[in-house]
A = this chain, B = another copy of it.
Amino acid sequence: MFLSELIPLQQALKIITDTIKPTPLEKTTLENAYKRVIGEDIFSQLDSPPFDRSAMDGYALKAQDTFGSSQQNPAHLTVVDRIGAGHTSPAIIRNGEAVKIATGAPIPQGADAVVMEEYTQEQGDNLKVESSLTPGENISFKGEDIKKEEVIINKGRYLQPQDMAIIASGGYKEVNVHQKPRVGVLITGSELVMPSPNISGAEVINSNHYTIKALVESSMAIPTLSHVEDHAEKVKNKFESILKSHDALITTGGTAISKGDVVVEVSEELGELMFHGVAMRPGKPFAFAIVHDKPVFMLSGYPVAAMVQFDVLVRENLLKLQNLHRPPVLTRKIATRKIPSTLGRTDYIRAKTDGVNVTPLNIKGSTMIHSMVSSNCYIVIEENLEGVAAGENCDVLLYDSMLV
C-alpha cells in the first residue's frame, strides 16, 4: 500500500462527521436510561411539589400566632392532629391550633408556616413554640421546583444520575432515547491467534480483539467481535453479513503483501471509499468508506496505531451516531523537553502529565503497547507546527477526558 495522497487530519474528520446520521429513537424504561441520549424535549406532566408541603418535621400553624415568640417568651398552642408523610389532615387550622407534621406531608388548610420540632416542646396536646415564624416559612409550595408543562430536560442531553430525579418527578417512567449504535468489529489477519502462553512460529496474539471491544464500549456503543483471514472473498462475506445487522463497521489490519490491502479493496468494491491515508502519526494508513449507507472505519492492525486512530477518528463519530456531540477537548501543558515534528502532519505523542508539565515517553515505532499503559495523555502537534520547544506550552489530550 502506498500512501501517496495523504489527506489532512481535519479534512478526514470532516468527511467522516458529515456522513454520520443519528440512530433512530427507541423507548426505554427510566431505570435503564442512565448514560443514554434523550431524543426529545421532556415537558413536566406535573407540578413539583404537587401540593404545598412541609419542608421540615415540625408543626403546621398560623405564623401570626408566633410573632414575637422566643425561648423566654414561647407561644402556647394546641395540637389538633398528627400526620405523617403520605397522609392528609382533615383539620382546618384556626388561631391557637397546630398540626404535628412530617417532612413532605401536605400543609393543612388554614396553616401558613411550619415550625421545626427543635424549637418546640410538646406536653400532651399542649405545644410551646419558642421561635417567631414568618408566613411561608418551611413550606415548599406547589410547583416551586417544577411547573407543569415546563421543559425539564432538553433533547440531546446525555442522562446523568441527577437527571433521573427530574424526569421521574415530571411523571415519566419511560423516555425516548437514541438506540445504542451496534458496531461490528472485524479483526483481519491470518497470523492472529487468541492469547496463550504458547505461541508458535509466526503467530501473533490478537490483542485488538480485546482493546477495540473495550474502546467501543467506552464510546457507549455495543460491539460484536469477529475475526477473518486475509482473504478477499471471506472479508467480503463478513462485510455483507455484519453490515446487515449493525450501524457501523470497524476493521483492523488486512494488509497482505502482494495482494494489496484486502480490506480497503473490499470496501471499494462494495461501496464508496472516501479516503485512504491520513497525514498523522501514528495511524497514517487509516481508511474510511461508506458501504450500504453505513460508515466503515478501517484501522491499522498495529495495536498502538489502531488505538490512536480510534481515539482521533472513530470515538467522536460513534458518539455522534447516538447524537452525542463530544469532540476531544485539548488542554495546555508545559513540555519538559523539545519535541520535533514534521510540517504537514499531525502528531499524537504518548506522554505523561503531572497536571502542569508533560513529558513524551521514550518509544519507537507503533508496536509499543507498553507506552499506552504508562502514558496518560497525548501531546498533539498540529500539522502547521514544526514541533515544540522545551518549556513551551503545548496541546495535550488527556485519556480520561475522552471517556463519557
A215 close to chain B: CB less than 8 A = yes
A330 close to chain B: CB less than 8 A = no
A74 close to chain B: CB less than 8 A = no
Copies in the complex: 2
CA distance A368 to B162 in the complex (A): 11
A249 close to chain B: CB less than 8 A = no
CA distance A100 to B225 in the complex (A): 31
- Which chain B residue has the least Cβ–Cβ distance from A102? B257
Given contacts A46-B197, A307-B162, contact A85 B191 (CB under 8 A): yes
* Interface membership of chain A positions 293-313, coded 1 if the CB is closer than 8 angstroms to chain B and 0 otherwise: 000000001110001000000
A382 close to chain B: CB less than 8 A = no
Which of B48, B207, B215 interacts with A369 by CB under 8 Å?
B48
Q: Note all chain B residues with C-beta closer than 8 A to A84.
A: 190-191, 230, 256-259
Given contacts A87-B202, A191-B86, contact A34 B144 (CB under 8 A): no
Given contacts A165-B207, A367-B140, contact A88 B202 (CB under 8 A): yes
Which of B57, B118, B207 interacts with A255 by CB under 8 Å?
B57
Q: Note all chain B residues with C-beta closer than 8 A to A323.
A: none
CA distance A1 to B118 in the complex (A): 9
A5 close to chain B: CB less than 8 A = no
Among A172, A191, A202, A205: residue with most chain B CB under 10 A: A202
The answer on a CB contact under 8 Å between A146 and B370 is yes
A104 close to chain B: CB less than 8 A = yes
A373 close to chain B: CB less than 8 A = yes
Q: Note all chain B residues with C-beta closer than 8 A to A230.
A: 84-85
The answer on a CB contact under 8 Å between A218 and B161 is yes
Number of interface residues, chain A, beta carbon within 8 A: 97
A93 close to chain B: CB less than 8 A = no
Among A204, A209, A302: residue with most chain B CB under 10 A: A204
CB distance from A155 to the nearest CB of B (A): 14
Q: Note all chain B residues with C-beta closer than 8 A to A204.
A: 49-50, 85-86, 104
The answer on a CB contact under 8 Å between A190 and B307 is no
The answer on a CB contact under 8 Å between B161 and A215 is yes
- Which chain B residue has the least Cβ–Cβ distance from A303? B165
The answer on a CB contact under 8 Å between B165 and A257 is no
The answer on a CB contact under 8 Å between B207 and A164 is yes
The answer on a CB contact under 8 Å between A195 and B213 is no
* Interface membership of chain A positions 220-256, coded 1 if the CB is closer than 8 angstroms to chain B and 0 otherwise: 0000010000100000000000000000000000011
A106 close to chain B: CB less than 8 A = yes
CB distance from A149 to the nearest CB of B (A): 11
Given contacts A2-B117, A57-B1, A57-B255, contact A301 B103 (CB under 8 A): yes
**A308-334: which residues lie under 8 A (CB-CB) from chain B?**
none
A82 close to chain B: CB less than 8 A = yes
Q: Note all chain B residues with C-beta closer than 8 A to A69.
A: none
The answer on a CB contact under 8 Å between A370 and B166 is yes
Among A30, A84, A165: residue with most chain B CB under 10 A: A165
Q: Note all chain B residues with C-beta closer than 8 A to A257.
A: 57, 82-85, 100-102, 105
A-B contact pairs, 20 of them (CB 8 A): A46-B199, A84-B230, A84-B258, A85-B204, A86-B204, A87-B191, A100-B257, A105-B257, A145-B369, A160-B399, A164-B207, A164-B213, A164-B214, A165-B208, A165-B210, A166-B373, A168-B211, A169-B303, A171-B197, A171-B199
Given contacts A166-B207, A169-B205, 9 further A-B contacts (CB under 8 A): A30-B195, A33-B210, A46-B199, A51-B202, A55-B367, A86-B203, A88-B202, A102-B257, A145-B369
